[in-house]
Amino acid sequence: MTETFTGSFTQQDPIPETGIEAALAVLRHGRLHRYNTAPGEVSETALLEQEFAASVGAQYCLAVASGGYAMATALRAVGVKPGDHVLSNAFTLAPVPGAIAAVGAVPVFVGVTESLTIDLDDLEAKLDHARVLLLSHMRGHICDMDRLMAMCDAASVTVIEDCAHTMGAAWNGVPSGRHGAIGCYSCQTYKHVNSGEGGFLVTDDPHLAAKSVMLSGSYMLFERHLAAPPKEAFADLKYDTPNISGRMDNLRAAILRPQVADLAAQCARWNERYYALEAGLRDTPGLKVIDRPAQETIVGSSIQFLLLDWTAAAVQEVIKRCLARGVELKWFGAAEPVAFTSRYDSWRYAPSTPMAASDRILAGVVDMRVPLTFSLDDCALIARIIRGEVSAVYQATA
Helices 263-281 and 250-261 cross at an angle (nearest 10°) of 60
What is the Cα–Cα distance from 106 to 220, expressed in whole angstroms? 32
Q: What is the mean pLDDT of residues 36-50?
A: 97
Q: What is the DSSP string of 12-53?
A: PPPPPHHHHHHHHHHHHH---STT---TT---HHHHHHHHHH
Contacts of residue 278, defined as CB under 8 A and 6 or more positions apart, other chains included, come to 289, 303
Distances (CA, A) of 78 to 74, 86, 160, 180: 6, 12, 9, 12
pLDDT of 147 reads 98
Per-residue pLDDT, 87: 98
Q: Is 240 exposed, middle or buried (0-12, 13-18, 19+ CB in 10 A)?
A: exposed
Please say if the pLDDT value at position 42 is more than 90.
yes
Q: Is the pLDDT of residue 71 over 80?
A: yes
pLDDT of residue 46 exceeding 90, the answer is yes
The three-state secondary structure class of 88 is strand
* 17-261: CATH topology: Aspartate Aminotransferase; domain 2 (3.40.640)
pLDDT tens-digit readout, 266-290: 999 999 999 999 999 999 999 999 9
Sheet containing 199-203: give its strands across: 60-64, 199-203, 182-186, 158-162, 132-136, 85-89, 106-110
Alpha-carbon distances, residue 197 vs 92, 216, 256, 285 (angstroms) = 19, 16, 11, 39
Q: Write down the pLDDT at residue 1.
A: 67
In this prediction, residue 23 carries a pLDDT of 98
**pLDDT score recorded for residue 393:** 98
Q: Please report the pLDDT score of residue 174 as a whole number.
A: 98
pLDDT of residue 336: 83
Of 99, 91, 45, nearest to 244 by C-alpha is 99
Select from 55, 25, 54, 57 the least CA-distant residue to 41.
25
Residue 82 backbone dihedrals phi, psi, to 5 degrees: -55, 135
**3-state DSSP call for residue 110?**
strand
Instruction: Summarize pLDDT for 97-121 with one digit per residue, the tens.
Output: 999 999 999 999 999 999 999 999 9
Contact predicate 210/237, CB 8 Å: yes
**CATH of 263-397 given 3.90.1150.10, 3.30.365.10, 3.40.50.1100, 3.40.50.11390:** 3.90.1150.10
| Span 125-161, pLDDT tens digits | 999 999 999 999 999 999 999 999 999 999 999 999 9
Q: By the 8 A CB rule, do 361 and 306 touch? A: yes
Beta-carbon neighbour count of residue 347 at 10 Å?
Answer: 20
Three-class SS state of 183: strand
Crossing angle between the packed helical segments 67-77 and 206-216, to the nearest 10 degrees: 120
Q: For position 334, what pLDDT does the model report?
A: 86
Q: Which residues partner with 201 through β-bridges?
A: 62, 184
> pLDDT tens digits for 311-340?
999 999 999 999 999 999 999 988 888 888
- Span 84-98, average pLDDT: 96
H/E stretch holding 389: helix 376-397
- Helix and strand numbers (H, E) in the chain are 13, 14
Q: What is the pTM of this model?
A: 0.97
- Rounded Cα gap, residues 100 and 105, in angstroms: 5
Q: Tell me the domain boundaries of the chain.
A: 17-261, 263-397
pLDDT digits (tens, 9 = 90+) for 203-257: 999 999 999 999 999 999 999 999 999 999 999 999 999 999 999 999 999 999 9
| Amino acid identity at 66 | S
What is the identity of the amino acid at 214? M
Q: What is the radius of gyration, based on Cα positions, of the chain?
A: 21
CA-to-CA distance for 102 and 268, rounded, in angstroms? 35
Please write the tens of the pLDDT for every residue from 160-194. Answer: 999 999 999 999 999 999 999 999 999 999 999 99
Residues 6+ positions from 223 with CB-CB distance below 8 Å: 231
| Helix, strand, coil percentages, rounded to 5, for the chain | 40, 15, 45
User: 10 Å Cβ neighbour count for 22?
Assistant: 21
